[in-house]
Chains A and B, each alone.
Chain A
Amino acid sequence: MSNRAIQNTLAVFKREFMAYFNSPVFYVIVVIFLLATNGFTFFFSRLLDSDDVSLATRFFVWHPWIYTVLAPAVGMRLWSEEHRLGTIELLMTMPVSPWQAIVGKFLAASVIWLIALALTFPIVGTVAYLGDPDSGPIISGYVASYLYAMACLAVTSAISAFTRSQVVCFIISVAFCLVIALIGDPGLTQTVVNAVPNGMEGIVRFISYFSFMDHFFEMTKGIFVLRDVLYFVSVIVVALLVTDQGLRSKRA
Protein backbone atom coordinates (compact mmCIF):
# COMPACT_ATOMS: atom_id res chain seq x y z
CA MET A 1 0.00 0.00 0.00
CA SER A 2 1.41 3.36 -0.96
CA ASN A 3 1.80 6.28 1.35
CA ARG A 4 -0.99 8.12 -0.40
CA ALA A 5 -3.39 5.21 0.01
CA ILE A 6 -2.74 5.15 3.75
CA GLN A 7 -3.23 8.91 4.04
CA ASN A 8 -6.54 8.70 2.17
CA THR A 9 -7.77 5.84 4.32
CA LEU A 10 -6.77 7.74 7.45
CA ALA A 11 -8.53 10.91 6.26
CA VAL A 12 -11.78 8.97 5.72
CA PHE A 13 -11.30 7.17 9.03
CA LYS A 14 -10.78 10.41 10.92
CA ARG A 15 -13.82 12.09 9.42
CA GLU A 16 -16.06 9.12 10.10
CA PHE A 17 -14.72 8.65 13.62
CA MET A 18 -15.29 12.31 14.53
CA ALA A 19 -18.79 12.09 13.05
CA TYR A 20 -19.66 9.50 15.70
CA PHE A 21 -18.55 11.83 18.46
CA ASN A 22 -20.37 14.79 16.95
CA SER A 23 -23.66 12.94 17.02
CA PRO A 24 -25.48 11.51 20.02
CA VAL A 25 -25.44 8.04 18.41
CA PHE A 26 -22.10 7.07 19.92
CA TYR A 27 -22.98 8.05 23.48
CA VAL A 28 -26.43 6.50 23.37
CA ILE A 29 -25.15 3.22 22.00
CA VAL A 30 -22.23 2.93 24.40
CA VAL A 31 -24.51 3.56 27.37
CA ILE A 32 -27.08 1.03 26.16
CA PHE A 33 -24.35 -1.48 25.45
CA LEU A 34 -22.87 -1.14 28.94
CA LEU A 35 -26.29 -1.30 30.60
CA ALA A 36 -27.20 -4.38 28.58
CA THR A 37 -23.95 -6.32 29.10
CA ASN A 38 -23.79 -5.57 32.82
CA GLY A 39 -27.52 -5.91 33.37
CA PHE A 40 -27.69 -9.33 31.72
CA THR A 41 -24.57 -10.54 33.50
CA PHE A 42 -25.69 -9.52 36.98
CA PHE A 43 -29.45 -9.86 36.83
CA PHE A 44 -30.12 -12.69 34.39
CA SER A 45 -26.95 -14.73 34.76
CA ARG A 46 -26.74 -13.87 38.50
CA LEU A 47 -22.97 -13.68 38.42
CA LEU A 48 -22.75 -12.85 42.13
CA ASP A 49 -24.89 -15.79 43.27
CA SER A 50 -22.69 -18.47 41.76
CA ASP A 51 -19.40 -19.92 42.82
CA ASP A 52 -18.12 -19.72 39.28
CA VAL A 53 -16.15 -16.75 37.99
CA SER A 54 -15.91 -17.89 34.39
CA LEU A 55 -17.10 -15.07 32.16
CA ALA A 56 -17.87 -17.24 29.13
CA THR A 57 -21.26 -18.51 30.25
CA ARG A 58 -22.39 -15.39 32.11
CA PHE A 59 -20.93 -12.43 30.31
CA PHE A 60 -19.83 -13.23 26.76
CA VAL A 61 -22.85 -15.43 26.14
CA TRP A 62 -25.04 -12.34 25.88
CA HIS A 63 -22.82 -10.45 23.45
CA PRO A 64 -24.05 -11.95 20.17
CA TRP A 65 -27.62 -10.93 20.96
CA ILE A 66 -26.63 -7.44 21.98
CA TYR A 67 -24.51 -7.02 18.84
CA THR A 68 -27.36 -8.23 16.68
CA VAL A 69 -29.26 -5.10 17.64
CA LEU A 70 -26.56 -2.57 18.44
CA ALA A 71 -23.92 -3.18 15.75
CA PRO A 72 -26.37 -2.33 12.94
CA ALA A 73 -27.25 0.85 14.86
CA VAL A 74 -23.62 1.91 14.67
CA GLY A 75 -23.02 0.72 11.12
CA MET A 76 -26.24 1.89 9.46
CA ARG A 77 -25.01 5.39 8.83
CA LEU A 78 -21.80 4.31 7.07
CA TRP A 79 -23.02 4.43 3.47
CA SER A 80 -26.74 5.14 3.75
CA GLU A 81 -25.96 8.61 5.04
CA GLU A 82 -23.61 9.25 2.11
CA HIS A 83 -26.34 8.23 -0.31
CA ARG A 84 -28.96 10.35 1.44
CA LEU A 85 -26.86 13.49 1.64
CA GLY A 86 -25.45 13.00 -1.85
CA THR A 87 -21.93 13.29 -0.48
CA ILE A 88 -21.18 9.92 -2.08
CA GLU A 89 -20.87 11.86 -5.34
CA LEU A 90 -18.28 14.11 -3.72
CA LEU A 91 -16.35 11.24 -2.17
CA MET A 92 -16.30 9.13 -5.33
CA THR A 93 -15.04 12.00 -7.50
CA MET A 94 -12.13 12.64 -5.14
CA PRO A 95 -8.86 10.89 -5.92
CA VAL A 96 -9.77 8.15 -3.44
CA SER A 97 -10.30 4.55 -4.43
CA PRO A 98 -13.55 2.95 -3.21
CA TRP A 99 -11.47 0.53 -1.16
CA GLN A 100 -9.70 3.26 0.75
CA ALA A 101 -13.09 4.73 1.63
CA ILE A 102 -14.64 1.36 2.54
CA VAL A 103 -11.75 0.36 4.79
CA GLY A 104 -11.50 3.82 6.38
CA LYS A 105 -15.18 3.86 7.27
CA PHE A 106 -15.22 0.28 8.49
CA LEU A 107 -12.22 0.92 10.73
CA ALA A 108 -13.92 3.97 12.23
CA ALA A 109 -16.98 1.92 13.19
CA SER A 110 -14.70 -0.87 14.49
CA VAL A 111 -12.74 1.46 16.72
CA ILE A 112 -16.04 2.78 18.14
CA TRP A 113 -16.80 -0.81 19.19
CA LEU A 114 -13.35 -1.26 20.58
CA ILE A 115 -14.01 1.69 22.87
CA ALA A 116 -17.40 0.33 23.89
CA LEU A 117 -15.97 -3.10 24.58
CA ALA A 118 -13.01 -1.70 26.49
CA LEU A 119 -15.43 0.13 28.77
CA THR A 120 -16.70 -3.23 30.07
CA PHE A 121 -13.41 -3.58 31.99
CA PRO A 122 -15.04 -3.33 35.46
CA ILE A 123 -16.50 -6.78 34.97
CA VAL A 124 -13.01 -8.23 34.65
CA GLY A 125 -12.05 -6.36 37.80
CA THR A 126 -15.11 -7.78 39.55
CA VAL A 127 -14.32 -11.41 38.80
CA ALA A 128 -10.63 -10.88 39.56
CA TYR A 129 -11.61 -9.43 42.95
CA LEU A 130 -14.09 -12.19 43.75
CA GLY A 131 -12.06 -15.12 42.61
CA ASP A 132 -9.13 -16.24 40.60
CA PRO A 133 -10.25 -16.48 36.97
CA ASP A 134 -8.13 -17.94 34.22
CA SER A 135 -6.88 -15.08 32.05
CA GLY A 136 -6.77 -17.17 28.84
CA PRO A 137 -10.55 -17.54 28.35
CA ILE A 138 -11.06 -13.88 29.22
CA ILE A 139 -8.66 -12.74 26.51
CA SER A 140 -9.97 -15.14 23.89
CA GLY A 141 -13.52 -14.22 24.96
CA TYR A 142 -12.82 -10.57 24.30
CA VAL A 143 -11.20 -11.37 20.95
CA ALA A 144 -14.19 -13.50 19.97
CA SER A 145 -16.61 -10.83 21.11
CA TYR A 146 -14.80 -8.15 19.14
CA LEU A 147 -14.59 -10.28 16.01
CA TYR A 148 -18.30 -10.97 16.30
CA ALA A 149 -19.03 -7.25 16.54
CA MET A 150 -16.83 -6.50 13.54
CA ALA A 151 -18.55 -9.20 11.49
CA CYS A 152 -21.94 -7.64 12.29
CA LEU A 153 -20.57 -4.19 11.39
CA ALA A 154 -19.20 -5.45 8.09
CA VAL A 155 -22.57 -7.01 7.23
CA THR A 156 -24.27 -3.71 8.08
CA SER A 157 -21.75 -1.83 5.96
CA ALA A 158 -22.61 -4.08 3.01
CA ILE A 159 -26.34 -3.52 3.43
CA SER A 160 -25.96 0.23 3.91
CA ALA A 161 -24.18 0.43 0.54
CA PHE A 162 -27.45 -0.56 -1.13
CA THR A 163 -29.91 1.80 0.51
CA ARG A 164 -30.23 5.49 1.28
CA SER A 165 -32.49 4.84 4.23
CA GLN A 166 -30.83 4.19 7.57
CA VAL A 167 -34.03 2.63 8.90
CA VAL A 168 -34.23 0.11 6.08
CA CYS A 169 -30.55 -0.67 6.53
CA PHE A 170 -31.01 -1.15 10.27
CA ILE A 171 -33.97 -3.49 9.97
CA ILE A 172 -32.44 -5.65 7.25
CA SER A 173 -29.10 -5.81 9.07
CA VAL A 174 -30.70 -6.85 12.36
CA ALA A 175 -32.73 -9.51 10.56
CA PHE A 176 -29.63 -10.77 8.78
CA CYS A 177 -27.49 -10.88 11.93
CA LEU A 178 -30.32 -12.61 13.77
CA VAL A 179 -30.72 -15.29 11.12
CA ILE A 180 -27.00 -15.94 10.93
CA ALA A 181 -26.89 -16.25 14.73
CA LEU A 182 -29.94 -18.52 14.93
CA ILE A 183 -29.04 -21.02 12.23
CA GLY A 184 -26.27 -22.28 14.50
CA ASP A 185 -28.54 -22.94 17.45
CA PRO A 186 -28.24 -26.69 18.26
CA GLY A 187 -31.89 -26.97 19.27
CA LEU A 188 -33.08 -25.30 16.09
CA THR A 189 -30.77 -27.37 13.92
CA GLN A 190 -32.07 -30.58 15.56
CA THR A 191 -35.69 -29.54 15.00
CA VAL A 192 -35.05 -28.84 11.34
CA VAL A 193 -33.11 -32.07 10.91
CA ASN A 194 -36.08 -33.99 12.38
CA ALA A 195 -38.49 -32.23 10.06
CA VAL A 196 -36.69 -32.68 6.75
CA PRO A 197 -36.28 -35.97 4.83
CA ASN A 198 -33.35 -38.17 5.77
CA GLY A 199 -30.96 -37.27 2.97
CA MET A 200 -31.16 -33.57 3.78
CA GLU A 201 -29.46 -33.72 7.14
CA GLY A 202 -26.06 -33.01 5.64
CA ILE A 203 -27.35 -29.83 4.00
CA VAL A 204 -28.89 -28.57 7.25
CA ARG A 205 -25.67 -29.24 9.15
CA PHE A 206 -23.73 -27.54 6.39
CA ILE A 207 -25.87 -24.40 6.57
CA SER A 208 -25.67 -24.30 10.36
CA TYR A 209 -21.90 -24.38 10.04
CA PHE A 210 -22.07 -20.87 8.59
CA SER A 211 -23.50 -19.46 11.78
CA PHE A 212 -21.43 -17.04 13.85
CA MET A 213 -22.43 -18.85 17.03
CA ASP A 214 -20.41 -22.05 16.80
CA HIS A 215 -17.22 -20.18 16.11
CA PHE A 216 -17.99 -17.65 18.77
CA PHE A 217 -18.61 -20.17 21.56
CA GLU A 218 -15.58 -22.24 20.65
CA MET A 219 -13.48 -19.17 21.19
CA THR A 220 -15.12 -17.98 24.41
CA LYS A 221 -14.42 -21.37 25.96
CA GLY A 222 -10.79 -20.43 25.69
CA ILE A 223 -10.10 -22.69 22.75
CA PHE A 224 -8.28 -20.24 20.56
CA VAL A 225 -8.33 -21.83 17.16
CA LEU A 226 -7.04 -20.13 14.08
CA ARG A 227 -9.91 -21.66 12.12
CA ASP A 228 -12.49 -19.63 14.05
CA VAL A 229 -10.52 -16.40 13.73
CA LEU A 230 -10.18 -17.00 10.01
CA TYR A 231 -13.90 -17.63 9.81
CA PHE A 232 -14.71 -14.16 11.17
CA VAL A 233 -12.00 -12.50 9.10
CA SER A 234 -13.39 -14.09 5.95
CA VAL A 235 -16.93 -12.99 6.83
CA ILE A 236 -15.61 -9.43 7.18
CA VAL A 237 -13.70 -9.57 3.89
CA VAL A 238 -16.69 -10.96 2.00
CA ALA A 239 -19.01 -8.33 3.50
CA LEU A 240 -16.63 -5.54 2.48
CA LEU A 241 -16.42 -6.99 -1.04
CA VAL A 242 -20.22 -6.87 -1.17
CA THR A 243 -20.03 -3.24 0.02
CA ASP A 244 -17.81 -2.47 -2.96
CA GLN A 245 -20.29 -4.17 -5.30
CA GLY A 246 -23.14 -2.21 -3.72
CA LEU A 247 -21.38 1.08 -4.29
CA ARG A 248 -20.61 0.12 -7.87
CA SER A 249 -24.22 -0.80 -8.58
CA LYS A 250 -25.41 2.54 -7.19
CA ARG A 251 -23.02 4.34 -9.52
CA ALA A 252 -24.39 2.20 -12.36
Chain B
Amino acid sequence: MIQVKNLIKLFGTKVAVDDVSFSVEKGEVLGFLGPNGAGKSTTMRMVTGYFRPTSGSVNLCGIDMLEEPELAKQRLGYLPENAPLYSDMTVASFLGFCAELRGLHGAQRTQAIDRVLDLCFLDSVRNQSVDTLSKGYRHRTCFAQSIIHDPDVLILDEPTDGLDPNQKHEVRSMIKRMGKDKAIIFSTHILEEVEAACSRAIIIDRGKVVADGTPESLKKLVPGANSLDEVFRSITKSDTAVKKAA
Protein backbone atom coordinates (compact mmCIF):
# COMPACT_ATOMS: atom_id res chain seq x y z
CA MET B 1 0.00 0.00 0.00
CA ILE B 2 2.91 2.32 0.66
CA GLN B 3 5.69 2.14 -1.87
CA VAL B 4 8.71 4.36 -1.50
CA LYS B 5 11.42 4.15 -4.13
CA ASN B 6 14.89 5.72 -4.10
CA LEU B 7 13.84 8.73 -2.09
CA ILE B 8 16.50 11.45 -1.93
CA LYS B 9 16.22 14.80 -0.19
CA LEU B 10 18.85 17.50 -0.29
CA PHE B 11 18.71 20.66 1.80
CA GLY B 12 21.21 22.83 -0.03
CA THR B 13 24.21 20.57 -0.21
CA LYS B 14 23.32 18.59 2.90
CA VAL B 15 21.94 15.14 2.17
CA ALA B 16 19.06 14.57 4.60
CA VAL B 17 17.68 11.39 3.06
CA ASP B 18 19.89 9.27 0.85
CA ASP B 19 18.25 6.73 -1.43
CA VAL B 20 15.63 5.29 0.90
CA SER B 21 13.34 2.56 -0.45
CA PHE B 22 10.80 0.44 1.38
CA SER B 23 7.25 -0.77 1.09
CA VAL B 24 4.50 -1.44 3.60
CA GLU B 25 1.60 -3.78 2.90
CA LYS B 26 -1.89 -3.77 4.34
CA GLY B 27 -1.86 -5.28 7.83
CA GLU B 28 1.72 -4.27 8.49
CA VAL B 29 2.92 -1.89 11.18
CA LEU B 30 6.33 -0.50 10.31
CA GLY B 31 8.47 0.97 13.07
CA PHE B 32 10.80 3.75 12.01
CA LEU B 33 13.92 3.93 14.14
CA GLY B 34 17.02 6.04 14.10
CA PRO B 35 18.98 8.62 16.05
CA ASN B 36 17.84 12.24 16.11
CA GLY B 37 18.56 13.93 12.82
CA ALA B 38 18.82 10.64 10.92
CA GLY B 39 16.12 11.67 8.44
CA LYS B 40 13.06 9.96 9.92
CA SER B 41 10.82 13.02 9.97
CA THR B 42 12.09 14.21 6.59
CA THR B 43 11.25 10.84 5.07
CA MET B 44 7.80 10.88 6.61
CA ARG B 45 7.22 14.42 5.39
CA MET B 46 8.01 13.29 1.87
CA VAL B 47 5.74 10.27 2.14
CA THR B 48 2.89 12.52 3.29
CA GLY B 49 3.51 14.99 0.47
CA TYR B 50 4.57 17.87 2.72
CA PHE B 51 8.12 17.97 1.35
CA ARG B 52 8.83 17.48 -2.29
CA PRO B 53 11.56 14.88 -2.75
CA THR B 54 14.69 15.90 -4.66
CA SER B 55 14.25 12.62 -6.51
CA GLY B 56 12.47 9.31 -6.07
CA SER B 57 8.82 8.36 -5.90
CA VAL B 58 6.10 7.82 -3.31
CA ASN B 59 3.07 5.72 -4.12
CA LEU B 60 0.09 5.33 -1.80
CA CYS B 61 -2.60 2.74 -2.67
CA GLY B 62 -1.52 2.85 -6.30
CA ILE B 63 -1.67 6.68 -6.50
CA ASP B 64 1.49 8.64 -7.16
CA MET B 65 1.99 11.36 -4.54
CA LEU B 66 3.86 13.70 -6.88
CA GLU B 67 1.44 13.40 -9.79
CA GLU B 68 -1.88 13.41 -7.95
CA PRO B 69 -1.16 14.80 -4.50
CA GLU B 70 -4.78 15.55 -3.59
CA LEU B 71 -6.01 12.05 -4.43
CA ALA B 72 -3.11 10.40 -2.62
CA LYS B 73 -3.54 12.63 0.44
CA GLN B 74 -7.18 11.62 0.66
CA ARG B 75 -6.05 8.05 1.46
CA LEU B 76 -3.68 9.15 4.17
CA GLY B 77 -3.83 10.09 7.83
CA TYR B 78 -0.88 11.93 9.34
CA LEU B 79 0.15 12.86 12.85
CA PRO B 80 3.01 15.37 12.55
CA GLU B 81 5.75 15.61 15.13
CA ASN B 82 4.72 17.63 18.23
CA ALA B 83 1.01 17.29 17.33
CA PRO B 84 0.28 20.80 16.00
CA LEU B 85 -3.23 22.20 16.60
CA TYR B 86 -5.06 25.46 15.93
CA SER B 87 -4.99 26.95 19.39
CA ASP B 88 -8.08 29.11 18.96
CA MET B 89 -10.45 26.19 18.30
CA THR B 90 -12.29 23.72 20.50
CA VAL B 91 -11.58 20.02 20.17
CA ALA B 92 -14.87 19.34 18.37
CA SER B 93 -14.58 22.30 15.99
CA PHE B 94 -11.01 21.37 15.14
CA LEU B 95 -12.03 17.81 14.32
CA GLY B 96 -15.01 19.18 12.36
CA PHE B 97 -12.67 21.34 10.28
CA CYS B 98 -10.41 18.37 9.54
CA ALA B 99 -13.44 16.24 8.63
CA GLU B 100 -14.62 18.87 6.15
CA LEU B 101 -11.23 19.02 4.49
CA ARG B 102 -11.43 15.24 4.19
CA GLY B 103 -14.69 15.63 2.32
CA LEU B 104 -17.02 14.62 5.17
CA HIS B 105 -20.10 16.82 5.48
CA GLY B 106 -23.44 16.85 7.27
CA ALA B 107 -24.37 13.65 9.10
CA GLN B 108 -21.17 11.90 7.99
CA ARG B 109 -19.16 14.67 9.60
CA THR B 110 -21.01 14.45 12.91
CA GLN B 111 -20.66 10.68 12.92
CA ALA B 112 -16.93 10.82 12.20
CA ILE B 113 -16.37 13.35 15.00
CA ASP B 114 -18.31 11.25 17.52
CA ARG B 115 -16.47 8.11 16.47
CA VAL B 116 -12.97 9.54 16.99
CA LEU B 117 -13.94 11.41 20.17
CA ASP B 118 -14.99 8.06 21.56
CA LEU B 119 -12.01 6.15 20.16
CA CYS B 120 -9.44 8.58 21.54
CA PHE B 121 -11.22 9.19 24.88
CA LEU B 122 -11.81 12.86 24.16
CA ASP B 123 -15.50 13.03 24.99
CA SER B 124 -14.94 14.88 28.25
CA VAL B 125 -13.07 17.73 26.53
CA ARG B 126 -15.04 18.00 23.31
CA ASN B 127 -16.05 21.63 23.86
CA GLN B 128 -12.85 22.69 25.57
CA SER B 129 -10.46 25.07 23.84
CA VAL B 130 -7.36 23.35 22.49
CA ASP B 131 -5.26 25.98 24.26
CA THR B 132 -6.28 24.73 27.69
CA LEU B 133 -5.63 21.01 27.09
CA SER B 134 -2.87 19.03 28.74
CA LYS B 135 -0.19 17.52 26.55
CA GLY B 136 -1.78 14.08 26.52
CA TYR B 137 -5.12 15.45 25.37
CA ARG B 138 -3.48 17.65 22.73
CA HIS B 139 -1.65 14.64 21.39
CA ARG B 140 -4.78 12.54 21.29
CA THR B 141 -6.72 15.33 19.57
CA CYS B 142 -4.17 15.46 16.80
CA PHE B 143 -4.16 11.68 16.63
CA ALA B 144 -7.96 11.72 16.36
CA GLN B 145 -7.63 14.07 13.40
CA SER B 146 -5.42 11.54 11.59
CA ILE B 147 -7.98 8.75 11.79
CA ILE B 148 -11.16 10.80 11.31
CA HIS B 149 -11.70 9.55 7.75
CA ASP B 150 -10.62 5.98 8.54
CA PRO B 151 -7.65 6.12 6.13
CA ASP B 152 -5.92 3.12 4.53
CA VAL B 153 -2.51 4.57 5.25
CA LEU B 154 -1.53 6.01 8.62
CA ILE B 155 1.71 7.85 9.25
CA LEU B 156 2.55 8.80 12.82
CA ASP B 157 5.62 10.82 13.75
CA GLU B 158 6.48 9.98 17.35
CA PRO B 159 2.91 9.27 18.43
CA THR B 160 3.89 8.45 22.02
CA ASP B 161 6.23 11.37 22.59
CA GLY B 162 5.46 13.17 25.84
CA LEU B 163 2.73 10.80 27.00
CA ASP B 164 2.61 9.11 30.38
CA PRO B 165 3.06 5.32 30.60
CA ASN B 166 -0.70 4.64 30.63
CA GLN B 167 -1.28 6.78 27.59
CA LYS B 168 1.69 5.23 25.81
CA HIS B 169 0.24 1.82 26.39
CA GLU B 170 -3.13 2.97 25.08
CA VAL B 171 -1.68 4.47 21.89
CA ARG B 172 0.43 1.37 21.30
CA SER B 173 -2.53 -0.96 21.57
CA MET B 174 -4.56 1.35 19.36
CA ILE B 175 -1.86 1.21 16.70
CA LYS B 176 -1.73 -2.55 16.97
CA ARG B 177 -5.50 -2.84 16.69
CA MET B 178 -5.72 -0.57 13.66
CA GLY B 179 -2.71 -2.22 12.06
CA LYS B 180 -4.83 -5.22 11.14
CA ASP B 181 -6.54 -3.50 8.23
CA LYS B 182 -4.29 -0.55 7.49
CA ALA B 183 -0.71 0.13 6.49
CA ILE B 184 0.93 2.05 9.33
CA ILE B 185 4.31 3.72 9.68
CA PHE B 186 5.32 5.19 13.01
CA SER B 187 8.58 6.59 14.25
CA THR B 188 9.80 6.29 17.78
CA HIS B 189 12.82 6.40 20.05
CA ILE B 190 11.46 3.79 22.39
CA LEU B 191 12.66 0.40 21.34
CA GLU B 192 10.29 -1.65 23.48
CA GLU B 193 7.52 -0.01 21.54
CA VAL B 194 8.82 -1.56 18.35
CA GLU B 195 8.67 -5.00 19.88
CA ALA B 196 5.24 -4.34 21.34
CA ALA B 197 3.50 -2.91 18.28
CA CYS B 198 5.45 -3.44 15.07
CA SER B 199 5.45 -6.29 12.64
CA ARG B 200 8.53 -4.85 10.96
CA ALA B 201 11.13 -2.21 11.68
CA ILE B 202 13.54 -0.08 9.70
CA ILE B 203 16.57 1.59 11.18
CA ILE B 204 17.74 4.79 9.50
CA ASP B 205 21.10 6.34 10.15
CA ARG B 206 22.35 9.53 8.51
CA GLY B 207 19.77 9.34 5.75
CA LYS B 208 20.33 5.69 4.83
CA VAL B 209 18.39 2.54 5.66
CA VAL B 210 20.84 0.42 7.64
CA ALA B 211 18.51 -2.40 8.70
CA ASP B 212 15.10 -3.68 7.64
CA GLY B 213 13.30 -6.71 9.09
CA THR B 214 11.09 -8.07 11.86
CA PRO B 215 12.12 -7.13 15.39
CA GLU B 216 13.34 -10.72 15.87
CA SER B 217 15.49 -10.74 12.75
CA LEU B 218 16.99 -7.38 13.69
CA LYS B 219 18.19 -8.83 16.97
CA LYS B 220 20.09 -11.50 15.08
CA LEU B 221 21.94 -8.89 13.02
CA VAL B 222 24.43 -8.28 15.77
CA PRO B 223 25.86 -11.46 17.27
CA GLY B 224 25.49 -11.67 21.01
CA ALA B 225 22.97 -8.81 21.27
CA ASN B 226 20.19 -9.50 23.73
CA SER B 227 17.98 -6.54 23.02
CA LEU B 228 17.08 -4.16 20.22
CA ASP B 229 18.74 -1.49 22.27
CA GLU B 230 22.14 -3.08 21.79
CA VAL B 231 21.50 -3.63 18.11
CA PHE B 232 20.50 -0.01 17.70
CA ARG B 233 23.61 1.26 19.42
CA SER B 234 25.99 -0.94 17.48
CA ILE B 235 24.65 -0.20 14.01
CA THR B 236 23.95 3.51 14.33
CA LYS B 237 26.50 6.12 15.27
CA SER B 238 25.76 8.71 17.89
CA ASP B 239 26.41 12.39 17.14
CA THR B 240 29.33 12.39 19.51
CA ALA B 241 30.97 9.38 17.82
CA VAL B 242 30.66 11.07 14.43
CA LYS B 243 32.32 14.17 15.83
CA LYS B 244 35.22 12.16 17.26
CA ALA B 245 35.80 10.46 13.92
CA ALA B 246 35.78 13.80 12.12
The total number of A-B Cβ pairs within 8 Å is: 74
Do the beta carbons of A252 and B51 come within 8 Å of each other? yes
B85 touches A93 (CB 8 A): no
Query: Is A89's CB under 8 angstroms from B84's CB?
Result: yes
Interface segment among B74-82, B110-118, B175-183: the answer is: B74-82
CB neighbours (8 Å) of B45 from chain A are 89
When A85-B86, A87-B85, A89-B50 are in contact, do A11 and B73 touch as well, CB less than 8 Å?
no
Residue of A7, A12, A90, A252 most packed against chain B (CB within 10 A): A90
Minimum CB–CB distance from B100 to chain A (whole Å) comes to 4
Against B, the Cβ 8 Å flags (1 = close, 0 = not) of A56-98 are 0000000000000000000000000000011101111111110
> Is A251 an interface residue when CB atoms closer than 8 A count as contact?
yes
Q: Which residue of A15, A95, A96, A251 is within 8 Å of B89 (Cβ)?
A: A15
Please measure, in the bound complex, the distance between the C-alpha atom of A87 and the C-alpha atom of B145, giving whole angstroms. Answer: 12
- Check B82 against A86 for contact (C-beta < 8 Å): yes
Question: Hey, which chain A residues are within 8 Å of B69, CB to CB?
Answer: 97
Closest residue of A by beta carbon distance from B75: A95
How many B residues touch A, CB cutoff 8 Å?
32
For the complex, is B245 an interface residue (Cβ under 8 Å from A)?
A: no
Residues of A close to B142: CB separation below 8 A: 90
What CA separation (Å) do A108 and B124 show in the bound complex? 31
In the complex, the answer to whether A251 meets B52 with C-beta atoms within 8 Å is yes
Chain B residue at smallest Cβ distance from A101:
B101
Residues of A within 8 A of B98 (CB): 90, 94
On chain A, the residues within 8 Å of B80 by CB distance are: 86, 89-90, 93
**Highest count of chain A CB atoms <10 Å: which of B50, B51, B69, B86:** B86
Residues of A within 8 A of B86 (CB): 15, 19, 85, 87
Query: Would you give the shortest CB distance from B10 to chain A, in whole angstroms?
Result: 9
| Interface: A22 (CB within 8 A) | yes
Q: Which of B52, B84, B101, B145 contacts A252 (CB 8 A)?
A: B52
Nearest CB in chain B: distance from A249 CB, A = 11
B63 to chain A minimum Cβ distance, whole angstroms, is 11
Question: Complex: how many Å from CA A86 to CA B84?
Answer: 5
Q: How far is the CA of A15 from the CA of B97 in the complex (A)?
A: 7
How many Å lie between the Cα of A95 and that of B48 in the bound state? Answer: 11
Chain B residues within 8 Å of A89, by CB: 45, 50, 78, 80, 84
- The distance in angstroms between the C-alpha atoms of A14 and B105, with both chains bound, is 14
Q: In the complex, which residues 63-106 of chain B have their Cβ closer than 8 Å to any Cβ of chain A? A: 69-71, 73-74, 76, 78, 80, 82, 84-89, 93, 97-98, 100-103, 105
Do A96 and B70 form a contact, CB below 8 Å, given A7-B100, A7-B105, A15-B97?
yes
The 6 closest A-B pairs by CB, nearest first: A86-B84, A11-B100, A95-B73, A95-B74, A94-B101, A89-B80
Contacts beyond the supplied A15-B97, A85-B84, A95-B101: 9 A-B pairs with Cβ under 8 Å: A7-B103, A7-B105, A14-B97, A85-B86, A89-B50, A93-B50, A94-B73, A94-B102, A251-B51
Residues in A lying within 8 Å of B, measured CB to CB: 4, 7-8, 11-12, 14-15, 18-19, 22-23, 85-87, 89-97, 251-252
Residues of B within 8 A of A (CB): 11, 45, 48-52, 69-71, 73-74, 76, 78, 80, 82, 84-89, 93, 97-98, 100-103, 105, 142, 145
